[in-house]
Amino acid sequence: MTKKLYLSDSYLDSCQAQVLDILETEQGQAVVLDQSCFYPQGGGQPSDTGLINATQVKTVRLAPDRTILHYLAASPDFEIGSTVNLEIDANKRQMHCRLHTAGHLISHLVDQLNLDLNPYKGFHFPEGPYAAFYGSIESTPEFILELENKLNDLIAKDLKVQSFIATEQQVQDLNLSAPEGKQVRLVQIGDYQAMGCGGTHVSSLSEIGKLRIRKIKSKKGETKISYEIY
């Protein structure tokens, strides 16, 4: 099983690892490592890209058995058993962290405002990020601006963001679940309730920059809050 270094350090952009396997797949050659700083796509967050030695990693995915597969853009310059250098695109990782934390912040504020919306999905890709909720609300330009201002006020407070492994009691209290034998990782912004999350995040809200609400759309009992950061 690959050790997920990104879980303990979202800012780690390089490391060394040992090649455990090189697989031939329909998507091309994929590498399995003993540890990795590459984030595999999932949880509404895109994968990292970068290099293993001089070979480009075009995407990283989880196999059905949860093995982390690093898909290569060309034949590798290494073999099974080799010790290799990993380097992710740090600018892309930082953008993903900012977008992911911004999505969590939107969910926290929606809960704080008692809007009767229940979060169920986040899309933290640079192309059209949004937070999705069960429930509907009446949205006006004035409300969107108010929500946007409140979010930027929270960002200006520079609340700290931390991640940690949940205790059994926290798992029960938050009604979370995980595969048997697996630990649950929590991410917490300031004093807001911690949320189960395996993604990468900034360490404090000021790193998000400015946030703009692009639109709020309610349809068929669901609401999507689309946003952007700059």
- Do 148 and 172 fall within a single domain? yes
Q: What are the tens digits of pLDDT across the range 124-156?
A: 999 999 999 999 999 999 999 999 999 999 999
Sheet with 195-196, strands from edge to edge, namely: 161-165, 185-189, 195-196
- Do 114 and 134 fall within a single domain? yes
Range of the domain at 140: 93-229
- Do 184 and 135 fall within a single domain? yes
Residue 172's φ and ψ, nearest 5 degrees, are -70, -45
Split into its structural domains, the chain has a count of 2
Stated pTM of the model: 0.94
CATH number at residue 22: 2.40.30.130
- Do 129 and 148 fall within a single domain? yes
- Do 26 and 102 fall within a single domain? no
- Do 44 and 120 fall within a single domain? no
Q: What are the tens digits of pLDDT across the range 174-191?
A: 877 766 667 889 999 999
Nearest CA-CA partner of 38 in 3, 73, 78: 3
Nearest CA-CA partner of 29 in 77, 89, 64, 85: 77
Q: Three-class SS of residue 39?
A: coil
Residues with Cβ within 8 Å of 153's Cβ and at least 6 positions away in sequence, in order, are none
